[in-house]
Amino acid sequence: MDFLPVFLNVRNQRCLVVGGGSVAFRKISLLLEAGAAVHVVAPSLAEPVAVLLQQNKITHDANGFDPDHLKGCTLVIAATSDSIANRTIYESAAATNIPVNVVDSPELCTFIMPAIVDRSPLMIAISSGGHAPVLARIVRSKLETLIPHAYARLASYAAKFRPLVKEHFVHKKNRRLFWEKALQGRFAEMVLAGKDSSAQDYFQQLLKDALDNTPQGEVYLVGAGPGNPDLLTFRAMRLMQQADVVVYDRLVSPDILNLVRRDAERIYAGKERNHHTLSQETINQLLVRLAQEGKRVLRLKGGDPFIFGRGGEEIETLTDHRIPFQVVPGITAASGVAAYAGIPLTHRDYAQSCIFVTGHLKHNGLDLDWSSLVRPNQTIVIYMGLLGLPVLCQQLIAHGCPANTSAAIIQQGTTQTQKVVTGSLETLPKLATDAKLTAPTLIIVGEVVRLHQRLAWFEADQE
């Protein structure tokens, strides 16, 4: 460890910045955010620094640096282009044990200005010890996307309720366990969603239940998207990491399942044609039972849970049993797979509407509203239609679609095993058979399919 990570309280403390350019402005702004009293030494000031002076947010000395400027200072930042002046500032500050930072000169620093993720009062500082500042900024950008801005409010709530929790739990271990549950459960999600009043009421209930040893479970109904883990939402990832048990479908890819908390119990509830591991009613009751046991239950579904995912049926059952739940939408196969195949579902020149249907065969037929499907300038997206593809194409033609209407079938879209087969309503069934496609697949019918060859951008690994 080259530097000791420390958070320094500079509120109302005199801090010296030598330099008045754009780099100095960034350091001055940071110090002002931390509540420092900033004094700037520079012969001239860049416009944004001059504005701060006009607003009386800083004080200014137009003379060159003098060691007397260090009197009463808590820290010093040198942001000049004069290497000799920078060294003088460093030596003067170091001689009086005042922390000093010379910008872009780690050898002249007794402290480093880190890259910061600010969720005040929660602060995250990232530093490479001055060796790779760009890498530190890249890490910061990754953390910025992973940590919601509402964590600031969550940290504030934790501070607000800390005395109350300390009063109720004598032992530190019990306090820690309570906070771990509160900050990773429904209370946290309420705060992050901006439900402040409900969050405060629920916290009081959570505290009461903890003292009464009453289990309080919850169900997370999460859409896992079309298969590529990169397409998961941030919220989905967060809930996947805090669930105690996951009930998952056949369409959830192994790569996505691997992102679930490793010690979480896994229950497979997949459905295949003529073979259901668990009936839908059994799944509904399973979610209720697990939540009543006080567990955080992740119901993980391929695509979006409200598009041919029976998510509505499941949360109806949860509502009947007063089980708390939350729903996280996922990228449905229609939009995800079509995008990765280079087929826009709507296009000003080809399609002004789009319709989603399911292609499950029932008694060797398809019970669809054919008249609504064969309208001109419309894209038809068929889920789960591989087995019924010949029937689908025949019926569309029989109900008025030209036999040469463009059509495509995509296998395992968005993943490295994606395969796209294009043709017409007349030719697609044989082309799909020849390609030996396997589920899951998505079928797209409409003139937008003609754009595939020109707009395809995603190349799956064919090795």
Distances (CA, A) of 156 to 33, 145, 383, 405: 18, 20, 45, 59
Q: CB neighbours of 66 closer than 8 A, spacing ≥ 6?
A: none
Annotated binding-site members for S-adenosyl-L-methionine = 226, 302-304, 307, 332-333, 384, 413
Beta pairing partners, 445: 380, 407
Contact 450, 350 (CB under 8 A): yes
Burial of residue 10 (number of CB atoms within 10 Å: 0-12, 13-18, 19+): middle
Annotated binding-site members = 22-23, 43-44, 226, 302-304, 307, 332-333, 384, 413
Could you count the other beta carbons within 10 Å of the beta carbon of residue 431? 17
Annotated binding-site members for NAD(+) = 22-23, 43-44
Q: Of 291, 295, 318, whose CA–CA distance to 305 is shortest?
A: 318
Residues marked active site are found at: 249, 271
User: CA 116, 118, 121, 122 torsion: positive or negative?
Assistant: negative
Q: What does the alpha-carbon distance between residue 442 and residue 421 come to, in Å, rounded to a whole number?
A: 11
Q: What does the alpha-carbon distance between residue 168 and residue 115 come to, in Å, rounded to a whole number?
A: 38
| Total number of residues shown for the chain | 463
Q: Of 378, 386, 380, whose CA–CA distance to 419 is shortest?
A: 386
Q: What does the alpha-carbon distance between residue 82 and residue 302 come to, in Å, rounded to a whole number?
A: 59
Helix ranges (H only) for 279-332 are 280-292, 311-320
